Amino acid sequence: MSLDCGWAIQGLAELGPVAEISGALWRLLTLADYNTRVVILGTALLGCAAGVVGSFTLLRKRALVGDAISHAMLPGLGLAYLLALAMGIEERSWSWLLLGATASSLVGTAAILGMRRWLRISEDAAFGIVLSTFFGAGVALLGVIQSLPSGHAAGLEGLLYGQAASLTWSDMGLIAGAAAAALVVSLLLFKELTLLCFDQQYLSTQGYSLSGLDGILMALVVMIAITGMQAVGLILVIALLIVPAAAARFWTQQIQRQVIIAAGLGAAGCFGGSVISALVPDLPAGAVIILVCTGLFLLSATFGYRQGVLWRLWRRQDWQQALARQHLLRGIYERLEVRTPGEIARAGAEASVTVEELLSLRSWNRRTVERVIERSQRAGLVTRIDGRVWLSKTGWLAARRLVHQHRLWELYLITHADVALQQVDRLADDIEHVLEPAVIEELEEILQQRGALIAECPHRSPESV
Amino acid sequence: MVSDSPKTEPDANPSPPLPHWPLRVWDLTVAYQQTPVLWDVAFDVPPASLVAVVGPNGAGKSTLLKAIMDLTPRTSGEIQVFGQPFSRQRRRVGYVPQRESVDWDFPVSVLDVVLMGLYREIGWCWPIRKHHQARALEALNQVGIADLAHRQISHLSGGQQQRTFLARALVQQADLYLMDEPFAAVDAATESAIVQQLGQMKQAGKTCVVIHHDLQTVPEYFDHVLLLNMRVVASGPVAQVFTSENLQKTYGGRLTLLEEVTTALRRREKTL
């Protein structure tokens, strides 16, 4: 590897003025240099295609297939080099090496599929076996090449860790072609690949060839791995397939958006990584690209609005507060109900409960109760004067509805206990949206028989209150 | 064609079967590594019938459906769907798999899943169009969850998942439906929605073969029954075949099940 990765500027140490750095950055970002243009555009396109293909392998739960495939390329590279040496071809001819890599990754893929089918070995075990065996064979071949008198395996070792800086226009053309092909194929087969990832059994009943479509997906992975090898190296290319796709999962629950976001994150990661490695000498582009992608992943995991940590915390708190508010309203209502059976008082001291009474209702501590009352008061649900709490008009209606709903649910769970409702969010879903009218009617009837529009909680007899 | 088929007729039915019965199975044997799961299974499914497939766990019920659709290689036997091999009649067969068979945390909406039933019709590389979406919505309407069309499938209850799968099969407008335990652990609303749908399908001349666990509801929901325990114990109209004797043969005198059987029979006597 003769080219330094910090080719865009001569070295930070020599840089005095800030203007020079920003000038260099500007030149990079505007792709003014020929070299920069090649590297940055090439890797960005690669990242884009890797995000798309990676989304499908991730959803197919085969994220590691890329790892096995990329490692399986190494012995092909070695063999192609040795063959070239023996036949007297220019041994570092790039297309010749690529041919070898493609061939051996295809053999590796076939080995995985074959083991799964005929040896009935589980998929992950097959991946592990192929990955380590092929990589081991590749390392051995590299050793042999290095020991040859005429062997300079440096070019090959560059493929292990990537050599983005040495990308040329023709390499870039190859990357662009492969990336575009991968994009077009995934776009045209979007429906079929989606179905493959979601429900392979149904796919087969519809007359699609399962192994055919899996083969297409694997071929796309091979294309990405082959073209990514020169930029980020065959060890790290797997990260391009997994990291942007996994990061995109934090942003959306819609497959079209998932693919677009993954493509964007992949392109951004590669772009950012190449720019940084061009600015700072001696930073290998492949590693920096992966680190930038991982940075984007961490940002997504934190801020992503589908599954991101912050949003999850926020939603959980929101939910807890809603639950506490509902408990408060129901608590007040049920307290009033017990105190004045029949017609419930709506005004005066009779219509209020003390904070102490509320405290005795649930295992709440005083601070929690105070906070819930405070929040509910702000929401206009209750009024608090000294130690007593009244329901407002809105609060009254809400409490009544809540108690009613709650008791319908309780009744339902008691009378229809054998059904699975684990997914129903009893806070958010109105019972009318989940259960059939006939069932609700039946429940209402039971409630009526117990003497009130809103009967007692079925699991608590009146005496025990 | 059945008439020039050398196979023996599976049952001694005096009236000759029509050439295009929805499903005919001869001598079907399926084995996983020399252990037979289905053994010499033979039965016919008459047109416009609702057939319950009943049998204990491990009786090979799911395997039977999979073997019919070529999802599982069969050791021997022949299967005809409307007089032809399944591979030539795919479009006329709708499949409702067990809902546990997929990962419901997949990034698609309910409508997207239903549209999958139309992929074959839309064809490779062609985009989904407005009228396809309209048909998918109509199918969702039929199973009563049209309002959930744009909901993420990860936010569905078990019953709603089941209805989504049913809609995906319905949108295909097939003539024969194979359903793998559509009633397993669903809410009452879903159960009655499915039953209602089954009735409508029968009226429209469609045939449904349904794996069913709840013996008590067999006489109520179905008109034919296939009692299966590795081999066919009995198959035919519920009134003739669904007897305590046959059930005992199927379930082999397991006490808890016998109890269920008694209740089922008592219930049936009541309905008759």
User: Which residue in B63, B96, B108 has the most chain A C-beta atoms within 10 A of its own C-beta, making it the best mutation to test that interface?
Assistant: B108
Contact A97, A77 (CB under 8 A): yes
Work out the minimum CA distance from B118 to partner chain A, whole angstroms: 9
Instruction: Test A253 with B152 for CB contact under 8 angstroms.
Output: yes
Contact B11, B62 (CB under 8 A): no
Residue in B95, B103, B106 closest to A205 by CB: B95
pLDDT at B258 over 90: no
Interface check for A252 against chain B (CB to CB < 8 A): the answer is: yes
pLDDT of residue A92: 61
Question: Of A318, A161, A297, whose CA–CA distance to A232 is shortest?
Answer: A161
pLDDT band at A264 (very low <50, low <70, confident <90, very high): very high
pLDDT of residue B259: 62
Helix (H, G, I), strand (E, B) or coil at A13: helix
Interface check for B156 against chain A (CB to CB < 8 A): the answer is: yes
Q: Among A116-125, A430-439, B20-29, name the one with the lowest average pLDDT.
A: A430-439
Contact A273, A43 (CB under 8 A): yes
Average pLDDT for chain A? 80
| CA geometry: angle A79, A85, A91, nearest 5 deg | 85
Tell me which chain A residues have a C-beta less than 8 angstroms from the C-beta of B119: 191-192, 195, 206
Annotation: CATH topology of A312-464: Arc Repressor Mutant, subunit A (1.10.10)
Tell me which chain B residues have a C-beta less than 8 angstroms from the C-beta of A424: 157
Mean of the pLDDT values across residues B135-153?
Answer: 92
Q: Which two tokens stand for residue A165?
A: 């800086």
Where exactly does CATH 1.10.10.10 map onto chain A? 312-464
Interface check for A199 against chain B (CB to CB < 8 A): the answer is: yes
CA distance A237 to A229: 6
Work out the minimum CA distance from A376 to partner chain B, whole angstroms: 29
Where exactly does CATH 1.10.3470.10 map onto chain A? 12-307
Instruction: Test B95 with A419 for CB contact under 8 angstroms.
Output: no
pLDDT band at B260 (very low <50, low <70, confident <90, very high): low
Which residues on neighbouring strands pair with residue B152, listed in sequence order? B109
Q: What is the pLDDT of residues A306-334, one digit of tens each?
A: 878 888 899 888 888 888 888 888 888 88
Interface check for B128 against chain A (CB to CB < 8 A): the answer is: yes
pTM, full prediction: 0.80
Give A275 or B131, the one with higher predicted confidence.
B131
Contact A241, A11 (CB under 8 A): no
Question: Of A42, A17, A93, whose CA–CA distance to A278 is shortest?
Answer: A42
Q: What is the pLDDT of residues A426-451, one digit of tens each?
A: 544 456 555 666 677 777 777 777 65
Q: Among A10-24, A130-144, A192-206, B231-245, name the one with the lowest average pLDDT.
A: A10-24
pLDDT at A425 over 70: no
CA distance A168 to A12: 25
Residue in A188, A207, A258 closest to B125 by CB: A188
Which residues on neighbouring strands pair with residue B26, listed in sequence order? B78
Work out the minimum CA distance from B156 to partner chain A, whole angstroms: 7
Which residues on neighbouring strands pair with residue B227, listed in sequence order? B54, B234
pLDDT at A247 over 70: yes
Which span out of A11-15, A458-462, B229-233 was modeled with the highest average pLDDT? B229-233
Find tokens 């809105």 and name the residue: A394
User: Which residue in B104, B118, B121, B125 has the most chain A C-beta atoms within 10 A of its own C-beta, making it the best mutation to test that interface?
Assistant: B125
Contact A381, A395 (CB under 8 A): yes
Mean of the pLDDT values across residues A180-209?
Answer: 92
Strand order of the sheet with strand B207-211? B93-96, B176-179, B207-211, B50-54, B224-229, B231-237
pLDDT band at B49 (very low <50, low <70, confident <90, very high): very high
Residue A413 CA: distances (Å) to CA of A416, A458, B7, B95, B194:
5, 10, 53, 32, 21
Residue in A205, A258, A420 closest to B71 by CB: A205
Contact B62, B212 (CB under 8 A): no
Residue A111 CA: distances (Å) to CA of A53, A69, A101, A234, A238:
21, 11, 15, 19, 19
Give A230 or A347, the one with higher predicted confidence.
A230
Find tokens 């599976």 and name the residue: B10
CA distance B119 to A144: 52
Beta strands per DSSP E along A246-296: none
CA distance A28 to A249: 31
Put residue A380 in one of left, alpha, beta given phi > 0 → left and psi -120 to 50 → alpha. Answer: left
Interface check for A424 against chain B (CB to CB < 8 A): the answer is: yes
User: What CATH architecture does domain A12-307 belong to?
Assistant: Orthogonal Bundle (1.10)
CA distance A298 to A285: 20
Q: Among residues of chain A, what percentage have pLDDT more than 90?
A: 23
Mean of the pLDDT values across residues A40-62?
Answer: 91
ipTM above 0.90, yes or no: no
CA distance B169 to B162: 11
